[in-house]
Amino acid sequence: MRVFDASTTLPANGKSAAIALGNFDGLHAGHRAVIADAQQAARQAGAPVGVATFEPAPRRYFQPSAPPFRLMTPRRRELELAAIGVDVCYLLAFDAGMAAMTDREFASGVLKDRLDTRAVSVGFDFRFGHNRVGDAAGLVRLGKEFGFEGRIVPEVSLDGEKASSTAIREMIQRGDMAEAGAALGGYWITDAIVEHGEKRGRTLGFPTANLHLGEIVHPAHGVYSVWARTEEETLWRPGVASFGRTPTTGLRDPLLEVVIFDWSGDLYDRRLHVAFAKFLRPEVKFPDIDALVSQMNQDAAAARAVLSGLPRPRN
């Protein structure tokens, strides 16, 4: 899959796709339905399949002090889009200029002139343009005016509820990884660069890979069974992870610490992908290090038992 910064001039062979347009944070069933519709339009038009999304997310532009809320990093989104057959991804810079565009200016200046799109698929509740003045029906009308096909995808429900990134964030924040994974069609997976830490874990017999989640939504503080793999590999390995402020050894900013079972090597400055399987227990403060290590051994055993009965992530 090719990825284009759509704020720059695109090459001729990077245009004229049938695109799915939206935020696509998490790529849940509703998002995938919009992409599937774009794939159908692409087949009908003999065009590439594209996804156009905003980077940074509009919510971050309008709420700069909001807590972390993203379900996936741009890199994770690229991997998922490639896996479902998307040919090209357009990153639309959401800045003051984009925020000020009317729906008509966006349809004409971005969708037609910049991308030369053949068709645009959106969800039934899609809004765009300054003050969210445009809607899905308006996009269809503007498409007829500017020479592309606008397509509206109806609501997708999961267990009678609308497929929603907001609902999935809430699942993650309360530690319900099974429910979040089901809503996402697999596991909730995040990724980050492994950082140098205090190196205390190795002295306790549990060397950890330390990850700051950045803009990614924070899961409930506690311990999880996880799968992990490096960017360069395809094999997902079982492990255990904790997310929180480490109250036993000294409070700090929330950090994800991952222990990969039966593996050794240097992970520093490498990208690690982590798939959350199950919440094992909440974060607690132990009376001493011995009690902490004893519990860590129990956590590792519990994580192994959980993962032994689960499939590895797909990608």
Same domain, 98 and 232: no
Give the whole-angstrom CA distance, residue 76 versus residue 64: 22
Token look-up 């698929």 returns: 121
Same domain, 187 and 288: yes
Q: Does residue 147 come out as left (phi exceeding 0), alpha (psi in the -120 to 50 range) or beta? A: left
Residue 160 one-letter amino acid: G
pLDDT score at 266: 87
Q: Nearest CA to 242 among 264, 265, 218, 268? A: 218
Same domain, 53 and 134: yes
| Domain CATH number, residue 278 | 2.40.30.30
Same domain, 94 and 191: no
Buried b (16+ CB within 10 A) or exposed e, 82-109: eebebbbbbbbebeeebeebebbebbbb
| Domain CATH number, residue 72 | 3.40.50.620
Same domain, 224 and 78: no
Same domain, 153 and 195: no
pTM for the predicted model, two decimal places:
0.92
Q: For residue 167, is it within any domain?
A: no
Same domain, 119 and 40: yes
Cα 79–chain centre separation = 10
Same domain, 96 and 236: no
Residues 6+ positions from 72 with CB-CB distance below 8 Å: 25, 26, 27, 80, 189, 190, 216
Question: Among residues 97, 131, 158, which one ends one of the domains?
Answer: 158
Percent above pLDDT 70 for the chain: 96
Same domain, 96 and 126: yes
> Which of 82-86, 168-172, 243-247 is predicted with the least confidence, judged by mean pLDDT?
243-247
Same domain, 116 and 206: no
Q: For residue 8, is it within any domain?
A: yes
pLDDT in tens, 169-224: 999 999 999 999 999 999 999 999 999 866 555 555 688 999 999 999 999 999 99
Q: What stretches of the chain show up as alpha helix (H) in DSSP?
A: 29-45, 58-62, 74-83, 96-100, 103-105, 136-146, 165-173, 177-184, 200-203, 289-307
183: number of Cβ within 10 Å: 24
Per the structure, the complete domain to which residue 293 belongs is given by 177-307
> Which of 23-32, 39-48, 197-206, 240-249 is predicted with the least confidence, judged by mean pLDDT?
197-206
> Which of 187-196, 245-254, 261-270 is predicted with the least confidence, judged by mean pLDDT?
245-254
pLDDT score at 199: 58
Q: For residue 313, is it within any domain?
A: no
Q: For residue 171, is it within any domain?
A: no
Same domain, 154 and 214: no
Same domain, 216 and 119: no
Q: For residue 289, is it within any domain?
A: yes
Q: For residue 219, is it within any domain?
A: yes
Q: For residue 164, is it within any domain?
A: no
pLDDT score at 288: 87
Q: For residue 315, is it within any domain?
A: no
**Domain tally, the chain:** 2
